Structure 1
């Protein structure tokens, strides 16, 4: 049987290191089947290339933000049953980490060639208006957003260490804001928070493990405010042993949740910083899309 050709989509803003990694992955894929590499600079361009890739195996070379875009695009085209390959290129790559996809570009290419299709969950996110999107990995509010914003400035120098460094800084300097959090129609928190997290995967910020997530649910974590002088110790403990080891972190699980603020909600969704209306509704969307993961025992996401 003739091997299916590959279409590799990569972000045109990638640095020299990422471009070398793309070249390594493309070279490995091309040993087995015709492989086309296209650099994209806008979501519209990305969507157009995906729409035209009917006969090709789609491979996304990028970080968590690129995968977020891929998920929205496939969902909009009603093609989430098509398994996509992943070449991790971001500074965090938490989705890849959480699904066992190697960070080495050639090893990741081998997963595209030899892996199996796995249907994985997503979070459907809606506001009180017409906005809807899917979350591939995690959504953060509070200190997580401040950390992500600071990490963007540090990435050129610190690379994958940017998020831990930014987290330590914002942990010492950040404030807290009131949120009303509901899980399965029960109000579980109504007051100030240092951070609020809605998790499908156990890690964020390049492998910082937060909790052992529960398959088939959204893990909701609220970190209560602490005095500024105590925040560095809290962040250090969380980064070393996870949030579950800190008494300031409170955790619930469910398939539906919501979060409400008095004003605009600043969010970090799969590494993308966004603003939303004051209320967001979240619901688990089982087997929402399909990715290629390392071969092994079958497991449903």
Structure 2
């Protein structure tokens, strides 16, 4: 019996401005030349994708996410629930979870990694709004100006990819109003007038911003980064520090760590929340039941 891995590639054709389908071809060719079985399917939507994941896992295939962080996050949840193994071909605008795993970006290196690299277990985040079912997230859950910036990026069509997140962040800062957040980490409650709150299992988001530099994907803990309200000018000046993680040394930044985080927030308008580049709704108000983010230690087997 061959010990070569078999693969089911699930492709988000919209990722990377439509570049994802082209990214598959050279990687699949190298894998097939190495004797691997490779099936390529374009994502037909969340429900159908879950069925495809289940079938691939039952065949013993590695499910390969071809797209960005949103596609990866959705597949990570489905693969985790099915007890399968995830591979990653980064082909989106952010690719932050792939960056955290230290994955290669060149086709031959990606193929070699998928064929030879060991499987590891990493944590996932479970996001649960009040009265709703949980959704698994791979990298981080966030609210405030970052969620507004992510929504702006999602609407950008003609802006060069390298400029999308920085431009959206500056626009979001220019129009932001601080919210009042209640953050409970393993039962320890704090209230903050904040520009943003991030609950992270991975260090990176927003295409390379090292928002939670202490985060580790397999330590069974969440890093909570709170950036308290400052002037728009101060936020713009401090923004570049997020790329190397040095923003956590600023006096207005608080870093907490734990396994369960409860979130409420009030603002002039409902405060949006996102996860891995995808909108997750709005945070419940201070008088409501909290939304909960919990770590699921070792929930995902990934080639990494």
When normalised by structure 1's length, the TM-score is 0.89
1:83 maps to what in 2?
85
CA contact (8 A) 1:12 1:41 kept: no
In the aligned structure 2, how far is the partner of 1:18 from the partner of 1:200? 25
SS in 2 for 1:157: coil
SS in 2 for 1:209: coil
SS in 2 for 1:213: coil
1:235 maps to what in 2?
239
Return the match for 1:271 from 264, 273, 277. 277
Return the match for 1:65 from 70, 74, 95. 70
Residues 1:238 and 1:51: Cα distance change in structure 2 (over 3 Å): closer
Return the match for 1:246 from 230, 233, 250. 250
1:101 maps to what in 2?
103
In the aligned structure 1, how far is the partner of 2:63 from the partner of 2:149? 32
SS in 1 for 2:104: coil
SS in 1 for 2:156: helix
2:183 maps to what in 1?
181
Return the match for 1:41 from 41, 44, 52. 44
CA contact (8 A) 2:222 2:259 kept: yes
SS in 2 for 1:146: helix
The count of residues paired between Structure 1 and Structure 2 equals 289
2:299 maps to what in 1?
288
Q: Structure 2 unaligned runs (5+)?
A: 285-289
CA contact (8 A) 1:195 1:222 kept: yes
Deviation of residue 185 (structure 1)? Answer: 0.5
SS in 2 for 1:237: helix
Residues 1:265 and 1:109: Cα distance change in structure 2 (over 3 Å): farther
Query: How large is the RMSD of aligned CA atoms in angstroms?
Result: 2.0
When normalised by structure 2's length, the TM-score is 0.88
SS in 2 for 1:178: strand
